[in-house]
Amino acid sequence: MLLNIQNLHVTYYSPGQKPVEAVRGVSFSVGAGESLGIVGESGCGKSSLAKTIIGLQPPSAGSLRFEGQELGSMKPAAFRHYRRVVQMIFQDAVGSINPRMTVRQTLEEVLHVHQMVPAGRVAGRVRELLDRVGLPETVLDAYPREISGGQCQRISFARCLALEPRLIIADEPVSALDVSVQARILNLVRTLQKELDLAIILISHDLAVVRNICDRVAVMYAGQFVESGPSANVLDAPQHAYTRELLAAVPDVGRALKERGRTHRFAPTCTGE
Ligand SMILES: Nc1ncnc2c1ncn2[C@@H]1O[C@H](COP(=O)(O)OP(=O)(O)O)[C@@H](O)[C@H]1O
Ligand SMILES: [Mg+2]
């Protein structure tokens, strides 16, 4: 098992304030190449869970194992490996890229800092990464502000892939993008996942997004998983009242997906994102 989480708790303590229990006893696992969707309304603890998995927020209790090793007791070398192979994609793609660096510099830097390829291979690897995420070489000398939100999200993916990750956590990766661009980025996520045998945890408040990509889905409510299982089962025959409520808020998930799919078929490239 790639990632195994047992009874994880995340609590925020601030002086003079009541502790906030953002994650309250979550358990799940993700195998190599698997995709898990986590859905739930704003404030239910999705990002807190994500930040804990990538090691930005310490858990207050519970166990988090990667390839069988407990995160909290990893030696520095194992932790460095973990921080490289478990990567996160954020909603705010533009804000997560250094505005003073061109696309080329951004990708070269990550390859260089992590010594992913010998110096003589850097330029070639940058071109491969761009190709992987469906961007033309013409963006290489652009700054983030000169390209679109969708293209910036593709650059975030390229920077992630540069590190040859095993698990990518995408926290609302398309929420900030136009609906017409969302489908193309999600399609990219699905293609990368299949071609590179990546494990993906896709976090979203949007059931249609998750259904389209994920083998399994977990429904999160007030810091806990209230329901989980294969996406089709959970979304077609929800057992929990909260899941039914979430589904009711989306009048026709099937239609929404078809419409997004259509956009994709007629505009397979990222021009104009
Ligand atoms: N750094 C923090 N300090 C204190 N409370 C926080 C912090 N980050 C998130 N929270 C609180 O934790 C809860 C879960 O937030 P979050 O994980 O961001 O949920 P989601 O991503 O599902 O919207 C919310 O009540 C939020 O206000
Ligand atoms: Mg969030």
* 148: Cβ contacts below 8 Å, ≥ 6 apart: 181, 272, 273
* Three-state secondary-structure class, residue 134: coil
Pull the structure tokens for residue 189: 């996520």
Is any ligand 1 atom within 6 A of the Cβ of residue 12? Answer: yes
- Scanning 133-164, the segments in alpha helix (DSSP H) are 149-162
Lowest mean pLDDT among 58-72, 111-125, 256-270: 256-270
User: Model-level pTM?
Assistant: 0.90
Is any ligand 1 atom within 6 A of the Cβ of residue 19? Answer: no
The CATH architecture assigned to 31-60+75-266 reads 3-Layer(aba) Sandwich (3.40)
Query: What ligand 1 atom has the least distance to the C-alpha of 47?
Result: 21
The DSSP code for 19 is -
Confidence of residue 251 (pLDDT cuts 50, 70, 90): low
- Report pLDDT for 93: 87
Report the C-alpha gap between 62 and 11 in whole angstroms: 12
Is any ligand 1 atom within 6 A of the Cβ of residue 48? Answer: yes
* 212: Cβ contacts below 8 Å, ≥ 6 apart: 186, 190, 257, 260
CA angle 5, 155, 254 (to 5 degrees): 65
Using left for φ > 0, alpha for ψ between -120 and 50, and beta otherwise, residue 224 falls in: beta
Domain assignments of the chain as residue spans, ordered by start: 31-60+75-266
- Report pLDDT for 252: 54
Q: How many residues comprise the chain?
A: 273
Query: What ligand 1 atom has the least distance to the C-alpha of 20?
Result: 5
For tokens 């998983």, name the residue. 225
For tokens 């239910």, name the residue. 44
Is 80 exceeded by the pLDDT of residue 69?
yes
Mutate to test the pocket of ligand 1, among 48, 220, 242 (most ligand atoms within 8 A of CB): 48
* Residues forming a β-bridge with 216: 36, 230
Pull the structure tokens for residue 236: 């077609």
Q: What is the DSSP secondary-structure string of 159-209?
A: HHHHT--SEEEEESTTTTS-HHHHHHHHHHHHHHHHHHT-EEEEEES-HHH
pLDDT (average), residues 52-75 = 95
